[in-house]
């Protein structure tokens, strides 16, 4: 319902993006910029890893479209975000800077989420209402429900969005969170980014159904399936979900069909368990060129703008990298600080 | 100052703190209309309503996880786990999440939640309504673990726990709920977390205990007093952080230490106390640090004859004191 | 689809029970006998509790119809049962004797499930393929999936049935079990006995949906709703589920709408949280008289038979009670036995 | 006899046992085609196929719970928890179910499952890929907890664990996977559960350790040997049941005991060893039973400087030995 209609030839026949989304051209370009920036930071992280300058990368490549579209319907500052390790685009949308992203990637003292204590891509930022994320998957669904419960009890108009993969969605905690959210009609959205794999395990071996979204009916909430390469489709689905949340109509489960363009992480060789056809099909579902072409076709993105944007982003990524690489490590003397609240 | 049962003191503490601070909510299974299976929350739903006294689904991980999120967004949740035996589905949320949020966020997020749970045997609860779970939580940096032994402490420590900026596991020995009474001041007072207290002074043997075992230790101390054995009883009250200074001061005085708990001995909390004393009071010891604990079986069986055989009793404690005193 | 069609007057207009179920009259009377026996044992347990002879009772009254109907489609000896504390009718159907039920109620040494170690109604019986049950609710769903997995891997025609209440069904373990069972098409049936309450918490506060069965769609299995007062409707639903299980078509979730005729347990006063109307409505949904009337109406149960049956059951219950009350307690010296396997 | 890495020994043990006993299955996340994130199960899926090497959903409670059921119906499941840090969602199934099935059924049902999990820090795994979890399980009656330190023991103990009629938690320190090599006989042999071994004989100080810390203790012992301190190193190998006799015999000989582990100290497994020694070898002690353990922080932080500060090292162990020897 939210997805781009296509001709038999596969070419989109939707109205132009601005009309379809009701978003001004500048905003659409911002969304594209966010995706391109996330991609560029992610690609740089891999280079840093392969050249031995960072220990670990877990990548957002292929997931940026869904997250950028979803976040375009949210209000940073007002709303809460519970990201996961592929939420690079989302945390940028919520205000995290490229420098902060790189500080986290390098594990420096000024990493806003953990001060260098957590692995890369374990985002958090109190200044942005991005809750601290951990590694055990799925737990954040319950935190989101708790945050949304507090919003509801205080009558505060506030939407809480929690993100995870389709594998994580099978954890008992997610079932319990959706049940609680459904009962209390909480202002919350669960975004399941279904890339078809949990590391090496294909969806058919870890999810009993093709579409995680069908589970929403078991919790008395709408379950919406969107195409993660259709950025504005994701936006429109989220716009409705946000409206429901703010008007007391309760939670929504949105499943975005995305692709994982890289191995699970820098420690994983996906060629060991994925066929070349499968990988090629994945590459064909890259949201970045898809959205770029959409804007181009609508004359919203010209060669000049693309060139300027590319230069700007290169500059931002270089700056963030140099800044973070030169930044100070945590002080070993702080090893046992903040286990408990500190006096004063 | 009114005399109250242990459970009344808990209920009074909850009610007063909810009146004082509108951010405090209570959530758990049957905590609403029913007032909890032990009636710890009786009357709260009538006074504070559905928003602040939440009957949850039968899902402990949800109870802990939602509390964590609600605390991150400004509330002060007091969760009830109906029986400590049923806290295990929430282990991941408590240990991996609640206990680590402050540390992993480098102090930028906290987790001010209190999780109450009745524990312990002696009420025909059998294998799954009798367990002691303190050792699992006492080991975890980031958690605080409180186990009161008197109505006065129950209320005062509960208020401290709710106001504490970090997650507190608050364990109540269910056998004390109605059997233990004591004076409880009306109105607001707190007992600080992390402070043990010497409940009885003595010179020959130190008995370290918490919760119900403190009462049994006092009973045992009275029994052996007639035999000229002066026993000092230390009530830990909080087992994490442990008040090492009070324990060590007592043992340095008596030279003998007996640690008592109902939980099974191997890897139980008594091991930490014994190891602490053995290392820090080595030069003062006139006898081996001794542990008296429940048997190596998974909690108390149902049949009364088996449950009786399982329980740590004043008699057993008295015997252990005599043995240690005679060393 | 399985339920009795009714006229506007509410009177059933189904064909006679034998025709409808395809079960011979003798078998139908057996099913009724099982229900009546379970009820009588349960009522006796309450008397024993109120007179201080047993510490605790947790009652099956109101749940017997669903369980008797379900078990009528199973093959004791071949199939596995994972009961819960309201499964008195089911364990009797699987072969447990009234004496054994009472030995468990009294916590005697010869209690086949635990030798007096577990609370009443914590059933188990290796001789009957009744797996050992614990108190933490919902865990048995995963054990059932594991048992069914072993049957499948060995190619053994064997159906595993697991029972629980609607409250327990919200536990993460149940979600994980259904997901695994759905993926592997396991020969397993989950029976959710929905009595509308988890102790004092009404379904609307603990289950986000009216019908737990709708969740089955999220695990790629049929979800069937049956009326727990319609014994044969339960039987027919289970007959189909068993056929699916044995032909490799995978698991089924059956939700039986039942009523809890007593307090949650002997420690609970349900008048504190249930209205008189609610309680009256519950009493109106007692499966025992409903099935009796069905058999009477079809001429399958005459006054003479009822009288004989009543006498037989009273005799069995008296015998079981006297036997169990006189039976030996466990030997305290066995307190720490069977923590680990014993040599030899 | 071939020289193998620790992980190769684990893999070989699994393969040989699966060939020997068709009831043995392996299940866990990514154990199939990928062969596990550390390749412990590499090649098993190709040899034994989908039925016996099962890639599970990302659900640890399911992994443990399904193993319990499968074992009840005749299989011998060997479950892999991808990282020990992720075992907490399975706590309820492991502690409340697996550990108690035999006891609660009065011996009529058993639970012959093995749960393997890599644990420990030192590989930049940060807070959630570095944890030590042994203390939680060592406390639980009904469980056995095995922590090998050599490839030889890894294979021999794994075979014993799989064949054991009771649930075994089998913990592998991930830093040893490729860094530790040793001789491993081809074919079938077992190392009995519940037996410690004296890895180095000495007269002045006993160091009790397990897993990676055994190697660090031996390194430390070599360092102080030059200074005339003869250190005895006891490798526990199984921490529940604990081989108290071997530990006590060593301490009664040396009179000094240092317990080492990477897990945080408070309520850690070292407390049990220290308490045991303090009580059972009291008359033989010439110095305080000492514990050297990880700091009271939730596992190892990511930044190398912090991780390095966190780790227990041969240097730290040597320093502790010197201090104790000098007592
Ligand atoms: C509780 C838990 N178990 C295992 C892991 C290890 N792990 C990290 S990511 C991952 C796969 C996640 O797959 P999915 O949820 O689909 O997200 P994706 O990586 O595909 O975006 C696993 C198994 C973990 N982090 N947490
Ligand atoms: C994990 C766990 N939490 C709490 C309890 C305490 N408890 C026992 S029965 C029960 C309610 C169960 O309700 P439901 O599943 O609907 O079954 P019913 O009793 O209604 O048949 C609760 C909360 C428990 N046994 N296990
Ligand atoms: Mg995925
Ligand atoms: Mg119910």
Q: Where does chain B have alpha helices with state H?
A: 6-20, 44-52, 60-72, 91, 101-104, 134-138, 151-163, 176-179, 212-225, 244-254, 269-280, 304-310, 314-326
Distance of alpha carbon A180 from alpha carbon B57, whole angstroms: 7
Q: Which of B198, B206, B201, B199 is nearest to B325 (CA)?
A: B206
Question: Is the per-residue pLDDT at B211 higher than 70?
Answer: yes
DSSP assignments along A138-160, one per residue:
THHHHHHHHHHHHHHHHT----E
A110 in B contact zone (CB under 8 Å): no
| Ligand 1 near A4 CB (within 6 A) | no
CB pair distance less than 8 Å for A201 and D57:
yes
| Segment D181-228, tens digit of pLDDT | 999 999 999 999 999 999 999 999 999 999 999 999 999 999 999 999
Q: Which helix (H) or strand (E) holds A296?
A: helix A287-297
Q: What is the pLDDT of residue A11?
A: 57
Distance of alpha carbon D54 from alpha carbon D37, whole angstroms: 14
Residue C114: phi, psi to the nearest 5? Answer: -145, 5
φ/ψ bin of D319: left (φ > 0), alpha (ψ from -120 to 50), beta (otherwise): alpha
A134 in D contact zone (CB under 8 Å): yes
Q: Tell me the chain C residues in contact with residue B307 when contact means C-beta distances shorter than 8 Å.
A: none
Helix H, strand E, coil C: the string for D1-13 is CEEEEHHHHHHHH
Distance of alpha carbon B72 from alpha carbon B89, whole angstroms: 21
Q: Which helix (H) or strand (E) holds D179?
A: helix D176-179
Question: Is the per-residue pLDDT at B279 higher than 60?
Answer: yes
CB pair distance less than 8 Å for C107 and B302:
yes
Catalytic residues of B: 129
Cβ pair B157, B163 in contact under 8 A: no
Q: How many CA atoms lie within 13 A of A202 on its CB side?
A: 9
Query: For atom 2 of ligand 1, which residue has the closest CA?
Result: A136
Distance of alpha carbon A320 from alpha carbon A338, whole angstroms: 27
φ/ψ bin of C205: left (φ > 0), alpha (ψ from -120 to 50), beta (otherwise): alpha
Q: What is the pLDDT of residue B1?
A: 80
CB pair distance less than 8 Å for C341 and D110:
yes
Task: Name which of D109, D144, D166 is nearest C132 (Cβ-Cβ).
Answer: D109
Distance of alpha carbon D172 from alpha carbon A226, whole angstroms: 42
CB pair distance less than 8 Å for A139 and B103:
no
Window 206-225 of C, Cβ < 8 Å to A: 206-209, 214-215, 217-221
The whole model's pTM is what?
0.98
Q: Which of B98, B36, B281, B261 is nearest to C267 (CA)?
A: B36
Distance of alpha carbon B240 from alpha carbon B258, whole angstroms: 19
Q: Which of C84, C87, C118, C137 to mutate to test the pocket of ligand 2 (most atoms within 8 A of CB)?
A: C137
Residues in Cβ contact with C150 at an 8 Å cutoff, skipping those fewer than 6 apart: C156, D69, D70, D72, D73, D74, D75
Ligand 2, CB within 6 Å, residue ranges: B 29, 58, 60, 82, 86, 89; C 86, 135-137, 164-168, 193, 195, 197-199, 260, 264
| Ligand 1 near A246 CB (within 6 A) | no
Q: What is the pLDDT of residue C15?
A: 78
> Mean pLDDT, to the nearest integer, of D20-43?
98
| Segment A263-308, tens digit of pLDDT | 999 999 999 999 999 999 999 999 999 999 999 999 999 999 999 9
What is the position in ligand 1's atom list of the atom closest to the CA of A169?
15
CA torsion angle for C242, C245, C246, C247 (degrees, to 10)? 120
C252 in D contact zone (CB under 8 Å): no
Question: Is the per-residue pLDDT at A1 higher than 50?
Answer: no
DSSP assignments along A44-71, one per residue:
HHHHHHHTTSSS-----TTTHHHHHHHH
- Identify the residue whose tokens are 């759905």: C182
Q: What is the pLDDT of residue C24?
A: 97
Measured between CA atoms, the residue of chain D closest to residue B298 is: D141
Q: Tell me the chain C residues in contact with residue A215 when contact means C-beta distances shorter than 8 Å.
A: 215, 218
**For testing contact with chain A, the best of B56, B67, B72 (most A CBs within 10 A):** B72
- Identify the residue whose tokens are 């368990």: A273
B74 in A contact zone (CB under 8 Å): yes
Measured in Å, residue A227 CA sits from the centre of ligand 3 at 15
Burial class (CB in 10 A: 0-12, 13-18, 19+), C76: middle
Distance of alpha carbon A40 from alpha carbon A61, whole angstroms: 9
Measured between CA atoms, the residue of chain A closest to residue B65 is: A142
In angstroms, what CA-CA distances link C23 with B142, C31, C300, D268, D286? Answer: 62, 10, 12, 62, 81
Residue B290: phi, psi to the nearest 5? Answer: -120, 145
Q: Tell me the chain B residues in contact with residue C56 when contact means C-beta distances shorter than 8 Å.
A: 124
Residue A225: CB atoms within 10 A of its CB come to 21
**For testing contact with chain B, the best of A96, A121, A147 (most B CBs within 10 A):** A147
Task: Name which of C178, C183, C214 is nearest A217 (Cβ-Cβ).
Answer: C214
| Segment C132-151, tens digit of pLDDT | 999 999 999 999 999 999 99
Measured in Å, residue A136 CA sits from the centre of ligand 3 at 14
% of chain C at pLDDT higher than 70: 96
CB pair distance less than 8 Å for D56 and C118:
no
Residue A183: phi, psi to the nearest 5? Answer: -60, -45
Distance of alpha carbon B152 from alpha carbon B299, whole angstroms: 28
Distance of alpha carbon B288 from alpha carbon D274, whole angstroms: 12
B100 in A contact zone (CB under 8 Å): yes
D22 in C contact zone (CB under 8 Å): no
Which segments within chain A are labelled E, that is strand? 80-82, 160-165, 188-194, 197-198, 201-202, 223-227, 252-257
% of chain B at pLDDT higher than 90: 99
| Segment A155-167, tens digit of pLDDT | 999 999 999 999 9
- Provide the sign of the torsion angle of the four alpha carbons B169, B175, B177, B182, taken in this order: negative
3-state SS class at B117:
strand
For chain C, residues with pLDDT lower than 50 are 1
Identify the band that residue D1 occupies on the pLDDT scale cut at 50, 70 and 90: confident
Choosing from D124, D129, D173, D261, the catalytic residue is D129
Task: Name which of A171, A182, A214 is nearest C208 (Cβ-Cβ).
Answer: A182
Window 72-91 of B, Cβ < 8 Å to D: 85, 88-89, 91
CB pair distance less than 8 Å for B266 and D291:
no
| Ligand 1 near D46 CB (within 6 A) | no
B58 in C contact zone (CB under 8 Å): yes
Measured in Å, residue A252 CA sits from the centre of ligand 3 at 20
Task: Name which of D64, D97, D142 is nearest C134 (Cβ-Cβ).
Answer: D97
| Segment C158-202, tens digit of pLDDT | 999 999 999 999 999 999 999 999 999 999 999 999 999 999 999
Measured in Å, residue A248 CA sits from the centre of ligand 4 at 28
Measured in Å, residue C206 CA sits from the centre of ligand 4 at 10
> Mean pLDDT, to the nearest integer, of A84-88?
98
Query: For atom 24 of ligand 1, which residue has the closest CA?
Result: A136
- Output helix, strand, coil percentages for chain B, rounded to the nearest 5: 45, 20, 35
What is the position in ligand 2's atom list of the atom closest to the CA of B58?
23
d(CA A249, nearest CA chain D) in Å: 31
CA torsion angle for C330, C336, C338, C340 (degrees, to 10)? 180
């Amino acid at each position: 319902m939210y997805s781009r209609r296509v001709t038999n030839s596969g070419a989109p026949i939707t109205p132009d993006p601005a009309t379809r989304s009701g978003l001004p051209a500048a905003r659409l370009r911002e969304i594209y910029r966010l995706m391109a920036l996330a991609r560029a930071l992610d690609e740089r992280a891999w280079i840093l890893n392969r050249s031995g300058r960072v220990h670990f990368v877990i990548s957002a490549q292929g997931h940026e479209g869904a997250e950028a579209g979803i976040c375009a319907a949210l209000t940073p500052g007002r709303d809460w975000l519970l990201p996961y390790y592929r939420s690079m685009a989302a945390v940028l949308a919520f205000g995290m800077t490229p420098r902060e992203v790189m500080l986290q990637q390098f594990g420096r003292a000024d990493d806003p989420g953990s001060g260098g204590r957590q692995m890369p891509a374990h985002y958090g930022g109190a200044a942005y209402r991005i809750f601290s994320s951990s590694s055990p998957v799925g737990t954040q669904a319950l935190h989101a429900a708790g945050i949304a419960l507090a919003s509801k009890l205080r009558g505060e108009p506030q939407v809480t969005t929690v993100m995870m993969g389709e594998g994580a969605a099978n954890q008992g905690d997610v079932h319990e969170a959706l049940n609680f959210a459904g009962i209390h009609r909480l202002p919350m959205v669960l975004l399941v980014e279904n890339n078809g794999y949990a590391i090496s395990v294909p969806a058919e071996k870890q999810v009993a159904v093709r579409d995680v979204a069908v589970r929403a009916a078991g919790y008395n909430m709408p379950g919406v399936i969107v195409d993660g390469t259709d950025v504005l489709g994701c936006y429109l689905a989220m716009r409705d979900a946000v409206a429901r949340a703010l008007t007391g109509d309760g939670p929504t489960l949105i499943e975005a069909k995305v692709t994982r363009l890289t191995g699970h992480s820098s420690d994983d060789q996906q060629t060991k368990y994925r066929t070349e056809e499968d990988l090629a099909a994945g590459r064909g579902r890259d949201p970045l060129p898809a959205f770029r072409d959409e804007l181009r076709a609508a004359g919203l993105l010209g060669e000049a703008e693309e060139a300027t944007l590319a230069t700007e982003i290169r500059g931002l990524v270089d700056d963030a990298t140099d800044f973070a690489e030169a930044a100070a490590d945590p002080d070993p003397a702080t090893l046992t600080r903040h286990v408990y609240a500190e006096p004063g | 100052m009114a005399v109250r049962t242990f459970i009344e003191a808990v209920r009074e503490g909850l009610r007063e703190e909810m009146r004082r601070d509108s951010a405090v909510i209570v959530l758990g299974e049957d905590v609403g209309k029913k007032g909890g299976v032990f009636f710890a929350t009786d009357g709260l739903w009538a006074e504070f309503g559905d928003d602040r006294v939440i009957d949850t689904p039968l899902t402990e991980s949800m109870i802990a996880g939602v509390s964590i999120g609600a605390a991150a967004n400004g509330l002060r949740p007091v969760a009830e786990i109906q029986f400590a035996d049923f806290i295990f589905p929430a282990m991941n949320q408590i240990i991996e999440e609640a206990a680590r949020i402050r540390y992993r966020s480098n102090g930028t997020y906290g987790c001010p939640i209190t999780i109450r749970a009745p524990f312990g045997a002696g009420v025909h609860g059998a294998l799954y309504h009798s367990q002691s779970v303190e050792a699992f939580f006492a080991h975890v940096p980031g958690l605080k673990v409180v186990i009161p032994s008197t109505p006065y402490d129950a209320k005062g420590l509960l208020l401290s726990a709710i106001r504490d900026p970090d997650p507190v596991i608050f364990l109540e020995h269910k056998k004390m709920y109605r059997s233990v009474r004591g004076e409880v001041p009306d109105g607001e007072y707190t007992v600080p977390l992390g402070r043990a207290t010497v409940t009885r002074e003595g010179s020959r043997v130190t008995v370290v205990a918490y919760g119900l075992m403190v009462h049994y230790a006092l009973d045992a101390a009275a029994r052996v007093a007639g035999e000229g054995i002066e026993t000092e009883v230390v009530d830990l009250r909080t087992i994490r952080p442990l008040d090492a200074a009070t324990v060590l001061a007592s043992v340095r005085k008596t030279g003998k230490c007996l640690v008592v708990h109902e939980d099974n001995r191997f890897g139980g909390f008594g091991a930490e106390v014994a190891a602490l004393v053995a290392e820090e009071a080595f030069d003062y010891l006139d006898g081996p640090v001794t542990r008296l604990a429940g048997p190596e079986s998974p909690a108390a069986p149902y049949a009364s004859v088996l449950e009786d055989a399982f329980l740590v009793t004043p008699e057993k404690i008295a015997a252990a004191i005599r043995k240690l005193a005679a060393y």
